[in-house]
Structure 1
Amino acid sequence: MDWDSSFDIVCVGSGIGGLSAALTGAQSGARVVVLEKFVQLGGVSALSSGQLWLGPNHLAEEAGMTDSMAAANAYLGHLHQGFAVPALRDVYFEHSRQALRYFTDVIGLEMQVVRGLPDYYYPLVDGSAAQGRYVEIKPFAADRLGDLAHDVLASPYGDGYSYTTSNEWIDMQDGGAFIGDRLAQHLAAGERCAGAGLAAAQVVAAVERGVALHASSEVVRLVVEDGEVRGVIMRDALGDHAIQARLGVVLATGGYDWRADLVRAFDALPQAGSMAPPSITGDHFALAAAAGALPLPARAPSQTPIFLGYAVPGENIYGQASTRMWLPGAPHSIVVNRKGQRFADDSFYPDLATRVARFDGQEGGLANWPAWIIFDQDMLDKYGLLPAWPGQPLPDGMAISAPTLEALAGKTGIDLPGLCATVESFNDFCADGVDHDFGRGKMPWPRIMTGDPRLPYPNMAPIARAPFHAVPLMRVTMGVPTAGLPIDMDGQVIDPHGKPICGLYAAGNAAAWLDWGGGYNSGIANMRGMLYGHRAALAMTRQQGEEE
């Protein structure tokens, strides 16, 4: 093969998995290139809340928060539900702490612990913690990016994800500044937060270490010789280029959100929207097939953290019709099925997302789908529904509205007696804040993240003020898939015979969730990307040292 250029490590994808591999490799003395298919760097993780979730860590300890490996292990055991591969589970459990310290102390990322944010299932699950297991990047000055400022992703949705921190959301619950004011402050200061801040910080660190970064550069084929991955064929505006990878290739291309056939096959979703960039098309599967790797589902589709959301008519993001992720739990709102009945704790998205997928043959299939958000004018005026901020009207066609519940049921096709009975029952629950059906508002996480701290029962307020509104729900993917490439403890891709493929690694959501199995907690996807990108580069550079 005649190579157009040569590097030690080629990272395919520029999310947290690819950039973590690039930073670790470059810090170890390797020559590294990052090839990103999309027109901007940062990947799906740049559009996320930017949280990393792990057990005991040095940032929490420095903040005076106590935790134990035994407690974290108990919590992990509950989340895994027996689906995780024990050896890989132990890697996540034991080495995430080390990876985080590497990126703070060696690479220099300025991270902070998120104060006051509990694990999803605290305090119901043994080992869950009230705080200390989430970390995030500190606000990052975008001018440090220099000429790359427009080449690194930030949220195109106009919300607070890229310009507010998790700490600020929590602070608002305790009487701190309104999150909209925080957003304005960060915009005025030219600061990026959350996933956008983390991507920007990693890009700057990569530039400082001599990593070559190329957007609009699609890897179309792996070069495989004698059973070993030796490099890639990259396609850009100038044509195809053969790039050698002396130590290996890291596939960090994310999930397969924009491949409807893969979403249908692996995630059991006939239809779904996505907030991921349209470049997330499962390229790792097609690329790795040339080296003998096959996709592997790590859990049942119902256990995959696929979100709920809604369409926004007239809004186009990345040239695609827009869908928005939605976190349920705002007062003056509930979720119902076609019978007009609530069917889950509709303040807690993991419970709601699981139950909308319930299949019951006796009830004709999906018993709780389709489903609608039902809310009144108080909800819109006080809390809004993005892209409408509090007090703003919803975009035309986004909601079905009516002056009475009876008229709303007629317009939507929701069962009228069921809807009226459900709203009456929910309103009764709001009087003393006790949801006798599903325990809404009982758990701390939804109270903090979606509740109104000014109310005696943050997630509970009646649906009473006309007009009334219904927004049909959609399933919305955010790059966290059911299937990925099987990997070993160092992120090396495994073939169907259980043997590692020489020169091929995977990180982030391109790697099957064999270390986690069936459970989820916010921040796991980002931590997995950082961990396996880091470990893949360490393995490659360690191998180089042994050969030399």
Structure 2
Amino acid sequence: MAEFDVVVLGTGAAGMTAALSAADAGASVGLFEKSSLIGGTTCLSSGVAWLPDNRYAREAGVEDSRAEGVRYLESLSRGMIRPGMAEAFVGGTSEVTDWLETRTPLHLSLVPGYPDYHPEHPGGKPQGGRSVEPELFAFDELGAWADRIEGRTRRMMVRETPVGGGTGVVGPDEANRRERQHLEGLGRAMIGALLKGCLDHGVEPVTGAAAVELIQDGNVVRGVRFADGSTATARHGVVIATGGFEWDSDLVRDFLRGPMSYPATVPTNTGDGLRMAMKAGARLGNMREAWWVPVCVLPGQRNHGEQAVHLVLRERTLPRSIMVNRAGERFTNEAANYNALGGAFHRLDPSDFDYLNDPCWLIFDARHVEEYGGFTLPPGQAPDWALRAGTLGELAREIDVEPATLERTVERFNGMAADGVDADFARGASAYDGFVGDKRYYPGAGSTLGPLDEGPYYAVQLHISTLGTKGGPQTDVDGSVFTVDGEPIPGLFAAGNAMAGPTGMVYGGAGGTLGPALVFGYRAGRAAASGGRR
């Protein structure tokens, strides 16, 4: 039996930040990970964190404030953000970024110009300023741990990629430098830096440790029992940061608001923390919500033994592409942010009681392929698994859609593209819509609007997936978990996707998952280190 002041479960951004925060506050910390690799879904991500009113924006001359950040979140919340959580999140960004810069190896910088996902809402930022990313991190600093981190090597920063406003090309000299120095960016850079901070504080993760039960003395949480029968006691508190439940089909069926398939996360996210919290009497919140994203499957490719998927972000935003449902009709603004598209995929037809828009089809033409490529391929190449036909009518038959309907849909879209105004779904009206589109025409609707008029034509099936669920035990602003009666469970804390999402259904902007994970992971670690007193 191991004894610590604080036990943290999970090594994604929330768990690592909680462990480092608690250790920096003077606590002895036990950090445990279910997988044989650390970092979880954070390592698969861009590593961008959405942090309103951050120091990097101020240094760049971007005007922002706590009031604007809170107003923006509340304008989108539909009443689902619990009292005080938005204020704690936005009000905590300065403290967290200052702490990261001065007390940890994780250094962040602005992704210039990245708009909020709903920038025209009150308090939104059409010119960006709230999305930040980790600087390149040298994995040589991790010693033997460098080979024990989830994901694949990516020596880029988001600002250099098309998704972040760049070209996707790094000069050969710089590319060689990064190779020689083992520099990485994106999500693995964030986890690598946080891990280095933990190791510097004497916190070494224990992998292959699947937590199955909280140890309680009355209602007080005293530790954790693992699948192998071992235990870890916590004098001050346990922080659950085990991620979501998207890989557990029963939990998905029971809680999520609509269909979800092919989750784009690590398959260890099976709701372990949720079950432990429920057994301890936790009150749940935000259970129907997830960080929605459309994906396509990559035939013949596997990831962690599961079907590999591709996040369909840029392909549907670029000109000369549309999405159509099983009736062959457009049903949404294709260039909208990926999380908001979940609502369009989840539209239930009251007559036939079916989700007509899930799955759907991305339709694009030969010119789209020639100029943009896509699905990880360069311009001029289309995946060999995409359906292809010489005419729209032939393509319609390939995807089991009425040819006349698809032809009418494309004809109408082409007319609106020529006018530069999408009268049906306002594609291109928001400053966000074209940011990851054709930068030659941004800002402006031309960055995302363009006709489909050059055969051959292509179709790829899309499904609504998730970057993680966002429901779990309800907490206060410092991560202390509530009982069903609204009282704190002494010694139990939660952070990240294992807690009831502090921003409700809102995905504020790029990094809307990791921003709250950093802030509330930090707060939960501090609170746990002090025994719940901050």
TM-score by length of 1: 0.90
Given the alignment of the two structures, is residue 313 of structure 1 paired with residue 305 of structure 2, yes or no? no
CA 264–181 in structure 1, closer or farther in 2 if over 3 Å, else same: farther
CA 170–333 in structure 1, closer or farther in 2 if over 3 Å, else same: closer
What code does the residue aligned with 1:417 have? A
CA 468–545 in structure 1, closer or farther in 2 if over 3 Å, else same: closer
What code does the residue aligned with 2:294 have? L
Aligned to 2:320: 332
Distance apart, 1:412 and its partner CA: 0.9
Equivalent residues of 2:245, 2:252 under 8 A apart: yes
Aligned to 1:341: 329
Distance apart, 1:496 and its partner CA: 0.7
Distance apart, 1:544 and its partner CA: 8.4
What code does the residue aligned with 1:32 have? V
CA 189–378 in structure 1, closer or farther in 2 if over 3 Å, else same: farther
What code does the residue aligned with 2:137 have? F
**Secondary structure of the structure 2 residue equivalent to 1:34:** strand
**Secondary structure of the structure 2 residue equivalent to 1:531:** helix
Given the alignment of the two structures, is residue 26 of structure 1 paired with residue 23 of structure 2, yes or no? yes
Identical aligned residues as a percent: 32
Aligned to 2:401: 414
| Range with greater deviation from structure 2 (317-326 or 269-278) | 269-278
Q: For 1:244-263, list aligned pairs within 5 A.
A: 244-263=233-252
CA 403–102 in structure 1, closer or farther in 2 if over 3 Å, else same: same
**Secondary structure of the structure 2 residue equivalent to 1:311:** strand
Aligned to 2:89: 92
Q: Deviations over 1:131-157 (max 9, x none)?
A: 21111111112222221111112348x
Q: In 1, distance between residues paired with 2:123 and 2:82? A: 20
Distance apart, 1:164 and its partner CA: 2.5
| Range with greater deviation from structure 2 (162-171 or 69-78) | 162-171
Q: In 2, distance between residues paired with 1:181 and 1:172? A: 17
Distance apart, 1:68 and its partner CA: 2.4
Q: In 1, distance between residues paired with 2:430 and 2:533? A: 50
What code does the residue aligned with 1:530 have? L
Q: In 1, distance between residues paired with 2:164 and 2:25? A: 41
Of 270, 273, 284, the residue aligned with 1:284 is 273
Distance apart, 1:177 and its partner CA: 4.3
What code does the residue aligned with 1:312 have? L
Aligned to 2:198: 206
Aligned to 1:57: 54
Distance apart, 1:35 and its partner CA: 0.7
Given the alignment of the two structures, is residue 80 of structure 1 paired with residue 98 of structure 2, yes or no? no
Q: In 2, distance between residues paired with 1:329 and 1:18? A: 34
Q: Deviations over 1:194-217 (max 9, x none)?
A: 211101110111111100212222
**Secondary structure of the structure 1 residue equivalent to 2:42:** helix
Alignment length (residue pairs): 525
| Range with greater deviation from structure 2 (265-274 or 185-194) | 185-194
**Secondary structure of the structure 1 residue equivalent to 2:513:** helix
Equivalent residues of 2:491, 2:531 under 8 A apart: no
Given the alignment of the two structures, is residue 486 of structure 1 paired with residue 474 of structure 2, yes or no? yes
CA 451–291 in structure 1, closer or farther in 2 if over 3 Å, else same: same
Q: In 2, distance between residues paired with 1:538 and 1:352? A: 36
Q: Deviations over 1:161-220 (max 9, x none)?
A: x432232237984xx644476995655652221211101110111111100212222112
Q: In 1, distance between residues paired with 2:163 and 2:461? A: 32
Aligned to 1:159: none
Aligned to 1:109: 106
**Secondary structure of the structure 1 residue equivalent to 2:68:** helix
Given the alignment of the two structures, is residue 233 of structure 1 paired with residue 225 of structure 2, yes or no? yes
Q: Deviations over 1:106-160 (max 9, x none)?
A: 22421112211111122x212111221111111112222221111112348xxxx
Q: Unpaired segments of 5 or more residues in structure 1?
A: 157-161
| Range with greater deviation from structure 2 (71-80 or 429-438) | 429-438
Distance apart, 1:314 and its partner CA: 0.1
What code does the residue aligned with 1:378 have? R
Given the alignment of the two structures, is residue 167 of structure 1 paired with residue 156 of structure 2, yes or no? no
Equivalent residues of 2:293, 2:341 under 8 A apart: no
**Secondary structure of the structure 2 residue equivalent to 1:273:** coil
Distance apart, 1:83 and its partner CA: 1.4
CA 219–226 in structure 1, closer or farther in 2 if over 3 Å, else same: same
Aligned to 1:374: 363
Of 97, 121, 132, the residue aligned with 1:135 is 132
- Alpha-carbon RMSD across the aligned residues, in angstroms, is 2.4
Q: In 2, distance between residues paired with 1:350 and 1:440? A: 16
Equivalent residues of 2:140, 2:181 under 8 A apart: no
Q: Unpaired segments of 5 or more residues in structure 2?
A: none
What code does the residue aligned with 2:492 have? L
Q: In 2, distance between residues paired with 1:538 and 1:385? A: 44
Aligned to 1:510: 498
Q: In 2, distance between residues paired with 1:362 and 1:179? A: 50
Aligned to 2:264: 275
Distance apart, 1:501 and its partner CA: 0.8
CA 408–187 in structure 1, closer or farther in 2 if over 3 Å, else same: farther
Of 107, 122, 127, the residue aligned with 1:126 is 122
Equivalent residues of 1:381, 1:392 under 8 A apart: yes
Equivalent residues of 1:375, 1:468 under 8 A apart: yes
Q: Deviations over 1:195-250 (max 9, x none)?
A: 11101110111111100212222112221122211111234xxx432211111111
Q: Deviations over 1:57-103 (max 9, x none)?
A: 22211222222233222212212221111222221121222122211
Equivalent residues of 1:493, 1:505 under 8 A apart: yes
TM-score by length of 2: 0.92
| Range with greater deviation from structure 2 (385-394 or 94-103) | 385-394
Q: In 2, distance between residues paired with 1:446 and 1:351? A: 12
**Secondary structure of the structure 1 residue equivalent to 2:328:** coil
**Secondary structure of the structure 1 residue equivalent to 2:189:** helix
**Secondary structure of the structure 1 residue equivalent to 2:429:** coil
| Range with greater deviation from structure 2 (65-74 or 8-17) | 65-74
Aligned to 1:459: 448
